Structure 1
Amino acid sequence: MPARTLVALALTLVAGAAVGGSAATPASAVDSARFDDPQPNAYFPLVPGTVSRYRGHEDGERFRERVVVTHRTKVIQGVTTTVVRDVVRRADGSVDERTHDWYAADDAGNVWYFGERTATYDEHGDVESREGSWRAGVDGAVAGMVMPADPRPTAAYRQEYLRGEAEDQAWIVQRHVSTRVPHGRVHDAVRSLEWSRLEKDVVSEKVYGPGLGIVRERDLSGGDEVFTLVSVSRP
C-alpha cells in the first residue's frame, strides 16, 4: 500500500480516536499474573547487555542514538520490568535527550510498556523539559502494548497512556518486509504506523527486524525525523 494511502488511513484512525470515547480511555490496567512466565518477543527483544546504535536527523540537525537493554529491573504494579536506557546526542556529542524506559514481556510474548522517565537538554547541558514522563498506575497512567507476540496486519493497539502527556498508538500494516539499513539487509521485518492523539498531524513509520527490534523509523507526515540502525552488539 502506498505511503500516502497509509498516512490517510492513519489520520482517519487518529480522528476517530480523538472523537470516540472508547479509544480515548483504556479499559483497565494489565494483570500482573500474566507476567509469571515471560516469553521472548522476536520483534522487541529484551536481552540484557544488548546495545543498539542509530543515526538520524531532524530539522536539519544530525543525531546519534544509543539504546542499552540494562540488567536493571523496576517493579511496577507488581510486574518486574526491564530498564532500557536511551540516549540521543547531537553531532557535537552533547546530550539532546536521555530516557529510561520500562518494558516487560508477558506469558504469551506480548511486550508491554510501563512508562518512561525522560528529559530533554539544551546545548549547555541543562534540563529543558521532562514532558512525556509517565509510570503505569500513577496519576491515571495505564501500561500499553509496544509489540504483540504475533504482529499481523491490521492489529492496532495503544502503546502508552497518560491523558494529555503520553497517548501513542500503533497499527501493524505489513509483514515479511525486506529493507536495508547501515547495519545490513534485514528480512522478514514488520512495518507499523505510529501516531499520537496529541500530535494529530504526525504519522511515523517504524520497521522492526527479528532479533533486532527497531531498525528504521521515519516521519511520513507532519515531520522529517529519520533514524536507522547502525550496529548491534549482544552479550
Structure 2
Amino acid sequence: MFATTLATSVAAAILVVAASAGPSAAPAPAPQGFAHPQANGWFPLEPGTTVVLRGTDDGVHFRERVRVTDHTRVIEGVRTRVVRDVLRRADGSLAERTTDFYAADDAGNVWYFGENTATYLPNGHLDSREGTWLAGRDGARPGIIMKAHPKATDAYRQELYPGHAEDQAWTVGFKATLRTPLRRFHHVLRSFEWTRLEPGVVSAKYYAEGIGVVREQDVAGGNEQFVVVAVHRR
C-alpha cells in the first residue's frame, strides 16, 4: 500500500514537471566521442540478444520481441546499433514494428539517435508512422536512453523531435528484488518515463543489468504493463 501511494505521489510530481519544458536535451559528443564505446550493463547492445516480453494495454494482450541486430547505421557521423522491436497481438497480428538506433559513447552513456516506427490495424493495414524521427533531420536531436552510471534524481531527455518525439526520464533509484515470470532479479534500476505529448501518462520502467527493461507499467494516466518472459542469446 505504501509503495503504491509513493508511486502515485511521485507520478503526480512528474506530471507537474512534464507540464513545463522539462530538462533540455544534452549535447551529444562529437563522433570521435563514440570511437571506443563502453558497454552499458543497464542497456546492453550485444548483437544476437533477444528479449521477449508479454503484456496488456486497454485489455488487449500483446507479445513484444526486442532484438539487437548485427546491423549498424551511421547517423550524424556516429555508427549506431540497429535494434528491432516487434509488437504482436495475441492472435499473432502485427500491432507495431519499430527500428531503433542506439550508440554507446566512450563514457558508457547510451544515446538514442532515432527510430522508424509504424503501427498497424488488426486487418494488417498501416495505421500511422507518427513518432518516427532521426537525429539531424528537421531539427531532431539525439537524447540519452541510459546513463553510464545512473543514480537517483537523474533527469534527462531520451529524444527530442518537438511535437513528435519528446520522451523524458527520471531515475528513481534501485529496487532490491523484482519477480518476473522469467526469474527473480536483484538490484533493479527503476525510472519514471513520460512525454509531454501524452499529458497525464507516466510509466515506471525496471532495468536489470545485462538485459535492459524487464518490466514496465503505467503508474498514472494509463493501464499498459509488460514483463519479461524470455531472453535469448545467439
Per the normalisation by structure 2, the TM-score is 0.95
**Structure-2 separation of matches of 1:37 and 1:226:** 36
Which residue number in structure 2 is paired with residue 119 of structure 1?
Answer: 118
Which residue in 2 is equivalent to 1:50? 49
- Alignment partners' CA distance in 2, 1:58 and 1:26: 29
SS in 2 for 1:8: helix
Contact 1:55 1:65 in 2 (8 A): yes
What are the Cα deviations for residues 96-124 of structure 1, in whole angstroms up to 9, with x where unaligned?
A: 00000000000010000000000000112
Q: SS in structure 2 opposite 1:55? A: strand
Which segments of 5 or more consecutive residues in structure 2 lack a partner in the other structure?
Answer: none
Asked if 1 retains the 8 angstrom alpha-carbon contact of 2:26 and 2:143, the reply is no
2:102 corresponds to:
103
How far has the Cα of 1:32 moved from its partner?
A: 1.4
Aligned to 2:70: 71
Identity %: 54
Do the aligned residues in 2 keep the contact of 1:171 with 1:194 (CA within 8 Å)? yes
Tell me what 1:209 maps to: 208
* Mapped contact 1:177–1:191 kept (Cα < 8 A): no
Trace 1:1-235 onto structure 2 (pairs within 5 A): 2-17=6-21, 23=23, 26=25, 28-235=27-234
- Provide the rounded CA distance (Å) in 1 between the counterparts of 2:103 and 2:26: 19
Amino acid corresponding to residue 105 of structure 1 in structure 2: A
Quick one: distance in 1 between partners of 2:225 and 2:189? 17
For the residues of structure 1 that align with 2:99 and 2:186, how far apart are their CA atoms? 29
TM-score (norm 1): 0.95
Structure 2: which amino acid aligns with 1:152? K
- Cα distance, 1:126 vs structure 2: 1.2
Read off the aligned partner of 1:161 and give its amino acid letter. L
Cα distance in 2, alignment partners of residues 102 and 85 from structure 1: 9
The two structures, once aligned, show a CA RMSD in angstroms of 1.2
Q: Runs of 5+ in structure 1 lacking a partner? A: none
